[in-house]
Amino acid sequence: MEKTVNQKAWFLVLPVLLLVAFSAVIPLMTVVNYSVQDTFGNNQFFWAGLEWFKEMLESDRMWDALGRQLMFSGIILAIEIPLGIFVALNMPKSGFWSSFCLVLMSLPLLIPWNVVGTIWQIFGRVDIGLLGYTLDALGINYNYTQDILAAWITIIVMDVWHWTSLVALLAFAGLKSIPDAYYQAAKIDQASRWKVFRFIELPKMMGVLMIAILLRFMDSFMIYTEPFVVTGGGPGNATTLLSIDLVKMALGQFDLGPAAAFSLMYFLVILLVSWVFYTVMTNLDKKGM
């Protein structure tokens, strides 16, 4: 059959190109533009080359924020993934209680970020918050506005509270896809509960867990609202995560150039880490973990 060649078909992709241009490419390029220029205000800019990148790479401030960020993401992943799996394993598999659990667990996911922040901000207050007051009454020194450890515990518990459901729901979907015959065979083979988990459930959940880890990593790496509402990045800079620092720099101090350079590097780090994650996980997956 003769193929007709009609270059006009390219026009059909034009709307998509425009949409992507306005939603992603142009804003990104604006940031790139800021990152290589300097300004003294009055909307007057001049060329600064890679100066900002160099400055940012040499600044302790960014490295510290990156360190805190990695620690935060690492801790919440280390808690949320196992906890989510544990919850999924112990959920009723079918019937009314299964649906009930699913709805209950979806609830935290539906609450807007700043509301979550506000809830925990109040919850943890020593004067009126249930948690803070109770701990104080028990004689435990807990004050997230002054104590670094308390602040960290608060934002981590808050994130775990908010997002473990997501991991649990994904893991549950993975578990539900395992045919009964696997469990039956395991019983016949006299496999222990641990072996059922290790050789049946975990391998079957691997795919969704990979997605869960990736989602939770990216999301926690970019987290802003919740910790900002609770601690405002304090005490001191103790909970100033990358995006909080970035906003401080860009809007608080109006250092557009450094902030732009910062955000580009931030973007690259996310891209890089996600890529590494993905490659490692797919390789593990291929090798059968």
Partner 1 sequence: MAKITLDNLAHSYLPNPASEDDFALKELNHDWDDGAAYALLGSSGCGKSTLLNIISGLLHPSQGRILFDGKDVTHAPTAARNIAQVFQFPVVYDTMTVHDNLAFPLRNRGRDEAYVAERVQEIARMIGMEDMLKKKARGLTADAKQKISLGRGMVRKDVNALLFDEPLTVIDPHMKWELRTQLKKLHHDFGHTMIYVTHDQTEALTFADKVVVMYDGRVVQIGTPEELFERPEHTFVGYFIGSPGMNVIPARIDGNKAYVNGSYVQLAQGYKPLDGKVEIGVRPEFARLSQSEGLPVKVRRIEDVGRHKIVRAEFFGTDINIIAGEDDHVSADMNRVTFDAAHVNVYANDWRVPGEAA
Does 185 help bind partner 1 (rule: CB under 8 A)? yes
Looking at beta carbons only, is 173 or 289 nearer to partner 1?
Answer: 289
Does 64 help bind partner 1 (rule: CB under 8 A)? no
Looking at beta carbons only, is 54 or 193 nearer to partner 1?
Answer: 193
Q: What are phi and psi of 20, to 5 degrees?
A: -65, -40
Looking at beta carbons only, is 93 or 287 nearer to partner 1?
Answer: 287
Looking at beta carbons only, is 14 or 188 nearer to partner 1?
Answer: 188
CB of 81 to partner 1, least distance (A): 18
Does 94 help bind partner 1 (rule: CB under 8 A)? no
Q: Which stretch binds partner 1 (CB under 8 A): 6-14, 199-207, 219-227, 231-239?
A: 199-207
Looking at beta carbons only, is 178 or 238 nearer to partner 1?
Answer: 178
Side-chain-side CA neighbours of 159 within 13 Å: the count stands at 27
Does 187 help bind partner 1 (rule: CB under 8 A)? yes
Contact 67, 152 (CB under 8 A): no
Amino acid at site 42:
N
CB of 212 to partner 1, least distance (A): 19
Burial 259-283, CB ≥16 within 10 A → b, else e: bbbbbbbbeeeeeebeeeeeeebee
**Position among 189, 236, 268, 279 found at the interface with partner 1 (CB under 8 A):** 189
- DSSP tally for the chain: helices H, then strands E: 14, 2
Does 203 help bind partner 1 (rule: CB under 8 A)? yes
Minimal CA–CA distance to 203: which of 287, 273, 142, 108?
A: 287
Q: Which residues pair with 37 in a beta bridge?
A: 47
Beta-carbon neighbour count of residue 227 at 10 Å?
Answer: 26
Burial 1-16, CB ≥16 within 10 A → b, else e: eeeeeeeeeeeeeeee
- Tokens 């996310």 belong to 270
Binding pattern for the stretch 136-175 against partner 1, x by CB under 8 A and - elsewhere: ----------------------------------------
Does 4 help bind partner 1 (rule: CB under 8 A)? no
**Position among 133, 161, 199, 277 found at the interface with partner 1 (CB under 8 A):** 199
Rule CB under 8 A: which residues touch partner 1? Answer: 179, 181-182, 184-185, 187-192, 195, 199-200, 203, 287-289
